Amino acid sequence: MTARPQSEGKILAWMCVLIGGNQLGFGAVIPVLPLYAQSFSASQTAIGFTVAIYDLARLFVALPSGRIADLFGRRNALALWGSSAVRGISGVPMPAPLLN
């Protein structure tokens, strides 16, 4: 077995941190989501669709991601999707009065 260069180990560690953070965030939201949705009198079906839409979005983003990685390179594709995720997630914890 050959040893990996130091830079590949750092990249792998950062990717594990980013993916772990993403999964931790999703795992923290899912148990609370039904209670939050019930406070708006949402039906069980609506709550189920809300949870399922996350996986559907991942499916529809994953399909063209391979093509984009082939065209522009994996590093550029990862940078694009990572920056998009950061921009999208950065507005989530803000209270509604701050957004107006």
Instruction: List the chain domain ranges.
Output: 43-88
The alpha carbon torsion through 24, 59, 92, 44 (nearest 10 deg) reads: -90
b/e map of 15-28 (b: 16 or more CB within 10 Å)? eeeeeeeeeeeeee
Using an 8 Å Cβ cutoff, are 77 and 68 in contact? yes
95: pLDDT confidence band, cut at 50, 70 and 90? low
CA-wise closest residue to 54 among 87, 80, 29, 82: 29
pLDDT at residue 42 in the model: 86
pTM of the model: 0.47
4: pLDDT confidence band, cut at 50, 70 and 90? low
Res. 51: pLDDT tops 60: yes
